[in-house]
Structure 1
Amino acid sequence: MSFEKLPFFIEMLNDNIENQSALADIVTELENSLSFEQIAVLLEAFPIPLRKLIWQLINQEVQQQVFIEMRNESRQLILNASEDEQCFPLFEKLDADELLDLSENLSDRFVDYAVSKMTDKQRALFKKAQEFSNDEVGHWQSFDDIQIPQRLKTSAIKKILSNSLPPLTEVFYVTQHDAKLIGEVAIAKLIVMQDDTPISTVMNRDYEVLLTTDNIYSAAEKVIISGKSALPVVDLTGCLTGRLDLQQAHTIREEQKDIQLFKSSGMIEEEDLFSNIWISSKNRAVWLGVNLVTAFLASWFIGLFEGTLQQVVALAVLMPVVASMGGISGSQTLTLIIRGLALGQITDANQKAIVLKELKVGCINGLLWAAIIAGITYLWFENPLLSLAIYIAILGNIIIASLSGVWVPWLLTKLKIDPALSGAVILTTVTDIFGFITFLGLGALFLT
């Protein structure tokens, strides 16, 4: 899906944020011009107060569809910024598939409300899907398959299929009286069949199925490479329970890529551009702590050469700590910004707010980890001036790394260079140079 229209609307909304009438007109225009997914991505480009203001101007029916398309943390930010009474309409008339996409990170009061507003059929389907874990096909299957009993005549089947069909439907599934799947028939073949022709003569009995207990990511790949618009899902007894279609399979594959990309930098895959500063700091601090352990391990090995390095041993031993802490902090910001640039969420209008947010995150993590590292350094070398030098160097390097994580991909994009390919290399160079110059400079000043 193209996101090239997003920068235009982001600029328009920012320019008219104080003009309620103009803002309402722009919101109406974007509702008519953008898909629900595009609107969801656009909203992420605004700080929470402005996002809430724009959200309140969106038509209520559009709100629900946009809410479904949002990522988990973005949904939570909307819910946290609104009263419950304003949120409940978002959960009315949801079907089982839609609520399953939302329920994992929703509070019980919203899930219970959504279930209470479902039809009996959808409520039963939702309960059935809840029997499976999040990484199983049964949890994510859709229930819009066309299931036809074997006993029906061709004329009756044509009458059933004359109604509107679910999207991505090219076959119907033939079942026995106990819902056991026995074959599939292409709708294109059915159309040209005589009314008295037995279904069994055109039924395909050699078909691929997915089990409800299959891994969802492996199953999604099977659907994508199958050449079909969907694959049927059966339970362990062979009874048809639903299907997994091509659109859902591609969505699952993209989500997996996002998860892997964010986790490679020690971040949660759902982090919003303007997520809470403390939450962002906490999410990234865990990975910084893991990185600290490996950095000190490398420093310990360098310390084995203390007799050779003599007077400069302490500085040499601690240099990898300074470099690695800046590198990992910068890469976390870099990952988030590259995604925002790719989706068109970041423009000149919101750049300042993003820089400010990342500066605050860098300061919080810088103060925390600089203090921890300085304390460990003092226990190790019993030198307060050395501890002070590394405290200042770590604090400065994490702040510079956070800011560089915004500016490096931004400048590379302006120069028409792909930041995903070269951003990490440039960022590492910047943090290494700054970290080493600061630490060694302070070391020379304090210790010689």
Structure 2
Amino acid sequence: MTLDILSDYIEKLDQHFEDELPLDSLIAELTERLQPEQLAILLEAFPIKSRLIIWEQLSSECQKDVFLEMKNESRQMLLTVLSDEACYLLFDKLDASSLLDFTDDLSERFVEYAVAQMSAKQRQHFKTAQDYNDDEVGHWQTFDEQKIPQQLKISAAKKLCAKSLPMLTDTLYVTDSDSKLVGEVAINRLINLNNDDLLVDVINSDVQSLPANQNMDEAAESVILSGKTALPVVDESGRLMGRLDLFSAFKHQEEQRDNQMMQSAGLVDEEDLFSSVWLSSKNRAIWLGINLLTAFLASWFIGLFEATLQQVVALAILMPVVASMGGISGSQTLTLIIRGLALGQITDANKKAIVHKELKVGMINGLLWALVIGIITYFWFDSPMLSLTICIAILGNIIVASLSGVWVPWILSKLNIDPALSGSVILTTVTDIFGFIAFLGCGTLFLL
């Protein structure tokens, strides 16, 4: 399924909403053609009101599958608007691995309900995983390992292979009477072995395993480089606990890269494209504040040369503050939009709604930090007009930066230019030019 098809469905749904057409047939078509992960991406491309309309037309089983694929913030937005009864249905018969993916972001009542609905075996798996930190492989292992006692014959191993095996299973793990891992045997090797032979005589005892307390980043790298579909996970005593497969390893690395990209721009690692204006403003305001400290530090160094700057010394000292605040605000929006474009969530249909949302975020953060910077400037230079000048420049530059963060990557993508490579350069140029023109222009009107 290509991104173009996903984008096409987003536009069709938006057109149905605009024309107030029934959604039944379109929803049936997309649920048949799209995987749960793709449906989750599609839902996150709509504001919460439209998202809820689509959600309510999905079957209960489809809802559960899509819910598991959503980003954490998107799940929270959904749980906030759904009734408790509807929420509880999403947690029926979850396995331990699925619940562990988002336990930290759930209300305690939902966690307790989900655990209560599990089988005794899955509850034990969940408890075991909770004994490890969330950066350790023991917390994220899957408990679908295929193990068999070493005293059994090859015929018993062949019977196990005849059953339905978990995904990415090409090896049986052999354990002793104390469940300690003693070796492994490849499933494709079993075919040519004598049924009456004992497993202990044919196993490979040189097994690469992962300690349950090993760092997850290192464990994922080990699995990927191992040349195997999975590696077994053992506890401190060498007892077999579970395994980490290639799918989980690559998924972890992908999530880490995505998180780093978002955090580098001062964004929450899983911020929803249509998260609330106040939440987005709060998340980004923190990093704008941190950036403000570094901007004033740069201004202080410029201020050391005050004697040589004559009449425009104050403007020269404060120029980096204007440029820096616009740059960080724009990069936050830019990063969010580039991710949305990469996932096919942003189309002509929802572009207007995204622009409106980012405009509101820019206005809120612009007003907040214009006021903060204006007050600092007043006490620093004892000049009301200089404070007014920088307030106007900061407000205007943050708003322009937020809008540019949407339009710059959008235009570049339309021109078939990778916005991830060139977007930040163009955005910085736009915010710097506008910021300096606004600041120096107002300074010329108010101060000279």
TM-score above 0.5, yes or no: yes
1:312 paired residue number:
312
* Aligned pairs (5 A) from 1:30-429: 30-429=30-429
SS in 1 for 2:241: strand
- Which letter does structure 2 place at the counterpart of 1:376? I
Residues 327 and 431, structure 2, Cα contact 8 Å, conserved in 1? yes
Q: Distance in 1 between matches of 2:209 and 2:270?
A: 31
Give the partner amino acid of 2:70.
Answer: M
Percent identical:
63
Question: What secondary structure is seen at the aligned counterpart in 1 of 2:390?
Answer: helix
Letter in 1 for 2:23: L
How far did 1:19 drift? Answer: 6.8
Match of 2:446?
A: 446
Partners of 2:245 and 2:446 lie apart in 1 by 65
Corresponding residue SS for 1:17? helix
CA contact 1:172–1:186 (8 Å) conserved in 2: yes
Amino acid at match of 2:242: G
Q: Is the Cα contact below 8 Å between 1:3 and 1:38 reproduced in 2? A: no
For 1:2 and 1:37, how far apart are their aligned partners in 2? 13
In 1, the alpha carbon distance for the partners of 2:446 and 2:175 equals 81
> What amino acid is aligned across from residue 90 of structure 1 in structure 2?
L
Letter in 1 for 2:49: P
Q: Number of residue pairs matched?
A: 448
Q: Which residue of 2 aligns with 1:3?
A: 3
Structure 1 consecutive aligned stretches of length 4 or more whose deviation exceeds 4 Å: 18-21
Q: Which residues of structure 2 form unaligned runs of 5+?
A: none
Q: Deviations over 1:379-406 (max 9, x none)?
A: 0000000000000000000000000000
Aligned-pair CA distance for 1:198: 2.4
What's the secondary structure of 1:135's corresponding residue? coil
SS in 1 for 2:350: helix
| DSSP 3-state at the match of 2:257 | helix
Unaligned runs of 5+ residues in structure 1 are none
Distance in 1 of aligned mates of 2:18 and 2:425: 41
Q: Secondary structure at the match of 2:232?
A: strand
Q: Which amino acid aligns with 2:219?
A: A
In the TM superposition, residue 21 of structure 1 has moved relative to its aligned partner by 6.7
Question: How much does 1:334 deviate?
Answer: 0.2
Superposition deviation, residue 105 in structure 1: 0.6
Alpha-carbon displacement from aligned partner over 1:169-209 (angstroms, at most 9, x marks no partner):
00010000111001110000112211012223431112211
Match of 2:423, as an amino acid? G
Q: Does the CA contact (< 8 Å) of 1:136 and 1:214 recur in 2?
A: yes
- CA displacement at 1:20 relative to structure 2: 7.2
Equivalent AA in structure 2 for residue 408 of structure 1: V
Alignment check: 8 A CA contact 2:150 2:198 kept = no
Deviation at 1:2, TM superposition (A): 4.4
Give the aligned residue type for 2:354: I
**What CA distance in whole angstroms lies between the structure 2 residues aligned with 1:358 and 1:420?**
19
Separation in 1, partners of 2:356, 2:33: 31
Q: What one-letter code is carried by the residue in structure 2 that aligns with 1:91?
A: F
Q: Distance in 2 between matches of 1:223 and 1:119?
A: 29
Alpha-carbon separation, structure 1, partners of 2:42 and 2:163: 36
Q: Deviation at 1:102?
A: 2.4
Instruction: State the distance in 1 between where 2:130 and 2:416 align.
Output: 47
Distance, in Å, in 1 between the alignment partners of 2:292 and 2:183 is 57
Is the contact between residue 326 and residue 435 of structure 1 (CA under 8 Å) also seen in structure 2? yes
Residues 367 and 395, structure 1, Cα contact 8 Å, conserved in 2: yes
Q: In 2, distance between residues paired with 1:168 and 1:262?
A: 31
Question: Partners of 1:5 and 1:218 in 2: how far apart?
Answer: 36
Distance 1:254 1:216 in 2: 13
Matched residue, 2:431: 431
In structure 1, how many angstroms separate the alpha carbons of the residues matched to 2:437 and 2:42? 40
Deviation at 1:290, TM superposition (A): 0.6
Q: Which amino acid aligns with 2:135?
A: D
Q: Deviations over 1:84-127 (max 9, x none)?
A: 11111110011111111121211111111111111111111101
One-letter amino acid matched to 1:391: C
Mean Cα displacement is larger for which, 298-307 or 94-103?
94-103
CA gap of 1:402–1:175, structure 2 versus 1, over 3 A, is: same
Cα distance in 1, alignment partners of residues 317 and 176 from structure 2: 72
Bigger drift between 276-285 and 20-29 goes to 20-29
Query: 258-267 vs 419-428, which deviates more?
Result: 258-267
1:217 Cα offset (Å): 1.3
Distance 2:171 2:196 in 1: 20
One-letter code of the match for 1:166? Answer: P
Q: Residue 441 of structure 1 aligns to which amino acid in structure 2?
A: G
- Tell me how far apart the structure 2 counterparts of residues 86 and 424 of structure 1 sit (CA, whole Å): 42
Distance 1:386 1:242, change over 3 A: same
**CA distance in 2: counterparts of 1:32 and 1:172, whole angstroms:** 35
